[in-house]
Amino acid sequence: MTDSYYYNAIALAYDGDYVKIARAKKGRASWLDAWNAHKELHNINPEQAWGELQKHSITVYMRESSEFPALLNEIHHTPFALYIKGALPKQHALAIVGTRKATASGRATAEQFAESLAGAGWCITSGLALGIDGAAHTGALKAKGATVAVLACGLDTVYPSEHTALAKRIVAEGGALVSEYPIQSPSYPARFLERNRIVSGLSLGALIIEAPERSGSIATATFALEQNRDVFVIPGPIGHPNFSGSHALIKAGAALVTTALDIRAAYGENIAEPQKNDAIINELPPEERQVYEALAAIGGRANVDKLSETANLPSYVVSRAATFMQLKGIIKECDGQYEISG
């Protein structure tokens, strides 16, 4: 039997507790030796436990195996093994995370960035949570690209249950569900934080979308920085609670980005200068695209009130969208009037 066979039995006996598993292995040459040294574990049947994994189509990548993601060997508390359902993509990955209580605009932005990056060959990693995470996975699938969901529980269940269909789709369309926990392991609160180190650890960088000051997204960004990964942040309205943590990250030195092209350029991808009417416009969040289209329909300069009427959006939304588009060089402002940049 392979080491993974006995590792799984030990992990199951200790309910995936990293510290207890480490103690069981300490001083032992193999997981078989660890198993033989701990008679109290023998209420677990390794063969039966392994059979349950096979029933759920779950494979185990041990830390020492060639299948184990190399980037995870660079992080603190590298998992002893990963449980995988599906196929773990080989291409470079970017984590996209954010609040569960995301705005409609935030979810649309996450989906849009993920779709663009996945379409360019990136794998999107996230945590399958409601809000930003789910939108990121959905965007990657929309592009027929790769995505990996890291769960805080065993892979015999899906949490949250609302994303059961999404999880099945990720596996069916060539991606993977990943966990460091054996089956039958519940998602204790602390495990969401433990999970986040793997989300960032699998990736070259992390994109933060709508992160309150105290949130799992900030924890993921912190892990990313500790792991020497890049951190990218999309800014938002001043004073909005969903962006308090995001803006703190920018102040601390995280890279402010407004398009997926910014992220790709940061990794040295050769990207031709896009025309304003194609690549950049297609990547705009929905509200910005509405304002741009309204300005194009007007055919000249227009103030916020006129744009608000034409785009059928509140004036504060128009002002926010116009600010972001000025930063991107798409429109310009003169004497309170906006026009498309020439």
Question: Which tens digits make up the pLDDT trace of 97-128?
Answer: 999 999 999 999 999 999 999 999 999 999 99
Tokens for 105, please give them.
Answer: 């605009």
Domain 93-266 fold is: Rossmann fold (3.40.50)
Residues in Cβ contact with 43 at an 8 Å cutoff, skipping those fewer than 6 apart? 13
Give the tens place of pLDDT for each residue, 139-156.
Answer: 999 999 999 999 999 999
Give the tens place of pLDDT for each residue, 225-256.
Answer: 999 999 999 999 888 999 999 999 999 999 99
Distance between CA atoms of 89 and 94, rounded to whole angstroms?
12
Averaged pLDDT, 161-187: 97
pLDDT score for 330: 87
Residues in Cβ contact with 33 at an 8 Å cutoff, skipping those fewer than 6 apart? none
pLDDT score for 277: 53
Banded pLDDT at 342 (limits 50, 70, 90): low
Instruction: Give Cα 9 distance to the centre of its chain.
Output: 30
Tokens for 57, please give them.
Answer: 């189509």
Banded pLDDT at 273 (limits 50, 70, 90): very low
pLDDT score for 181: 98
Distance between CA atoms of 341 and 333, rounded to whole angstroms?
9
Element (H, E) at 47: helix 46-55
Measured distance between the N- and C-terminal CA atoms of the chain, rounded to whole angstroms: 68
Pairing outcome for strands 93-98 and 205-209: parallel
pLDDT score for 275: 47
Give the tens place of pLDDT for each residue, 54-105.
Answer: 999 999 999 999 999 999 999 999 999 999 999 999 999 999 999 999 999 9
Q: Is the pTM of this model over 0.85?
A: no
Element (H, E) at 168: helix 164-172
Averaged pLDDT, 209-236: 94
- Minimum mean pLDDT range among 6-10, 192-196, 265-269, 277-281: 277-281
Work out the mean pLDDT of the chain and round it to a whole number.
Answer: 91
Tokens for 26, please give them.
Answer: 């300490």
Averaged pLDDT, 274-298: 76
Banded pLDDT at 280 (limits 50, 70, 90): low
Comparing C-alpha atoms, which of 88, 95, 152 is closest to residue 125? 95
Element (H, E) at 137: helix 132-142
Distance between CA atoms of 279 and 40, rounded to whole angstroms?
61
**With 70 as the cut, is the pLDDT of residue 270 above it?**
no
pLDDT score for 335: 82
pLDDT score for 2: 82
**DSSP-H helix ranges across 173-276:** 189-201, 216-226, 244-251, 260-266
Averaged pLDDT, 288-301: 87
Q: Could you tell me if 302 and 292 are in contact, meaning their C-beta atoms sit under 8 angstroms apart?
A: no
Distance between CA atoms of 276 and 328, rounded to whole angstroms?
10
Distance between CA atoms of 222 and 161, rounded to whole angstroms?
27
Please confirm whether the linkage preceding 160 is cis (ω < 30° from 0).
Answer: yes
**With 90 as the cut, is the pLDDT of residue 192 above it?**
yes
Residues in Cβ contact with 111 at an 8 Å cutoff, skipping those fewer than 6 apart? 135, 136, 138, 139, 142
Maximum mean pLDDT: which of 209-223, 281-295, 323-337: 209-223
Whether domain 276-340 has CATH 1.10.10.10: the reply is: yes
* DSSP H helix total and E strand total for the chain: 15, 11
**With 60 as the cut, is the pLDDT of residue 326 above it?**
yes
Write down the domain spans for the chain: 1-55, 93-266, 276-340
Distance between CA atoms of 172 and 77, rounded to whole angstroms?
30
